A and B are shown apart, each in its own frame.
Chain A
């Protein structure tokens, strides 16, 4: 079967499955209940000018599919085990190479102290660990300034462990939830960064490294108000081959890059009361990378923030909107200094993406939704950093504005 049709076939099976079947989701194994849950989505994007997210969206593209399936069982009162498989295709990204999304054993000694180990979703901001689960939100695409879907691999999970817990504060001051973690991140070579670098003749065979950080969130005494902060540090190494930028006639040479500094700070707040949901987040990501075996250095300073709101008008219809603002500065040092020009003016379309979004979500039933979303973007970001707009699918160069229509349907059980 042709690969893109796999996702569509999977989705069709879901859509043809009636509600009763969707609720049949557990079985017994060694006298323990095993829950089965899954989701699938299919999107379509049309843009008026630039091609977006590695797809030929100016022609209209449906290469926007993902699905996942998980099994979970509470083995004892305090021990939870489970795993989820995930697969996606987003233009040139993912390409239907399935991955183990997470696989954890989670033991909670006390409510304020638990440990989980295995491949664990990384907690960063409000939605990093649930960014694939679009059925949880009104939006078809999360704000790309903070949750760039083309480089989800960079932050999505780590093979290692978490320590976590929730502490109830006295005198009705709400509660505090914390997570600290450390592990190894391993990117797919079908991710946005490896794809971006193919324009320079660089091909990764591996990319990953150490990832550690923490998250602290406060459920405040004000009903529905959550505020929090996350920190993520990484030390990654990428290996592969490349064309030398210093001597392109020299042929293919071994390529390596590694982190000199790589950190993310993220601050967020969420207000949810009844039918109203308001989120706001800001993220700063600094990535100082030693490239070409350390002969050059590339420093990216990426800043993004958004404010999003949604209101459920009637039982089956939710409307939402967000404003997302992304900017990047890029500096190069060493042998590569001056070859790509330094970019420091974030007012230029080449160094920012400002995105105004409106969306409507229709819930056809409890398990199936359809979304219609409009994006009105100014800017196209850096051509040396993966931020949605890729030179490979825009060979004639970029135009400053892009309007996008996103249609998406998804099911889950």
Chain B
């Protein structure tokens, strides 16, 4: 009897720790007709709430949602701030008052990938572990650099001596890709002095953010205050 109880507890713990229990990484994917490679979290929410029918670059978009599952739940909570019930209520409000239509609801990642691959403007979400051919991945940009991904470790960039002596400073703008685990995967210079940018990039590559369900992209601005 005692042994049976221990087995049950062990089985329960294994179930709790199984990968499916925790929402795995989310990848936002779109039909290749979508010009953009990134989408802001705010824009993503507006698209899925049918407040926006097009992205900032003018591309028409059509949201596709899953019927259920861990990725679906995690996506709704993280990016729409809603439960599945809330979302169905929201869409029903639109449909039954003549203000919108029900988005396509599909049963699996594979169905989502297949539908998005053949439907112009379609945008959806899948597990990052799912193979996705014929679609493009959209990186999610969080507005601000600390509001949604908290910066845990920050390394200050070195101010190049020559520029400092010459009184050359300014603001450097970087596009930072952060992995779900929080480490910086890629940094691109968006604007500013290239030498200051180089210094900023090498510092930002050492930054560590809080974990998240998905890979995100944040715009970071770093100021080099000239001593003059």
The contact of A77 among B98, B100, B121, by CB within 8 Å, is B121
- What's the Cα separation between A275 and B84 when bound, in Å? 11
- What's the Cα separation between A104 and B98 when bound, in Å? 7
The contact of A68 among B42, B81, B96, B144, by CB within 8 Å, is B96
- What's the Cα separation between A224 and B90 when bound, in Å? 13
**Chain A interface: which of B3-11, B49-57, B161-169, B183-191?**
B49-57
A residues near B100, Cβ cutoff 8 Å: 80
A84 touches B96 (CB 8 A): yes
- What's the Cα separation between A133 and B89 when bound, in Å? 10
A residues near B83, Cβ cutoff 8 Å: 274-275
- What's the Cα separation between A103 and B102 when bound, in Å? 17
The contact of A366 among B54, B88, B144, B147, by CB within 8 Å, is B88
Cβ distance B70 to chain A, nearest Cβ, rounded Å: 16
B98 touches A111 (CB 8 A): no
Within 8 A of A (CB), among B102-150: 102, 121, 143-144, 147
| Contact bitstring A102-144, B, C-beta under 8 A = 1, else 0 | 1110101001000010001100000001100101100000000
Q: Does A346 contact B (CB under 8 A)?
A: no
- What's the Cα separation between A37 and B103 when bound, in Å? 13
- What's the Cα separation between A133 and B143 when bound, in Å? 36
- Which residue of the partner chain A has the closest CB to B43? A168
Q: Does B46 contact A (CB under 8 A)?
A: yes
- What's the Cα separation between A104 and B99 when bound, in Å? 9
A120 touches B98 (CB 8 A): yes
A82 touches B81 (CB 8 A): no
Q: Does A237 contact B (CB under 8 A)?
A: no
- What's the Cα separation between A133 and B101 when bound, in Å? 16
- Which residue of the partner chain B has the closest CB to A25? B102
B98 touches A102 (CB 8 A): yes
Within 8 A of A (CB), among B47-68: 51-54, 60
A residues near B85, Cβ cutoff 8 Å: 312
With A37-B102, A111-B51 as known contacts, state yes or no: A168 contacts B95, CB within 8 Å.
no
B residues near A121, Cβ cutoff 8 Å: 97-99
Cβ distance A115 to chain B, nearest Cβ, rounded Å: 13
A111 touches B46 (CB 8 A): yes
B93 touches A133 (CB 8 A): yes
With A111-B52, A175-B51 as known contacts, state yes or no: A74 contacts B101, CB within 8 Å.
yes
Cβ distance A73 to chain B, nearest Cβ, rounded Å: 8
B residues near A354, Cβ cutoff 8 Å: none
Cβ distance A126 to chain B, nearest Cβ, rounded Å: 10
Q: Does B92 contact A (CB under 8 A)?
A: yes
Q: Does B37 contact A (CB under 8 A)?
A: no
List 5 A-B pairs, minimum CB-CB distance, nearest first: A77-B60, A102-B98, A104-B98, A129-B97, A166-B51
Can you give 18 A-B contacts (C-beta < 8 A)? A25-B102, A35-B95, A68-B96, A70-B95, A77-B60, A82-B98, A83-B98, A103-B98, A116-B99, A121-B99, A130-B93, A130-B96, A130-B97, A133-B97, A136-B92, A175-B46, A223-B81, A274-B83
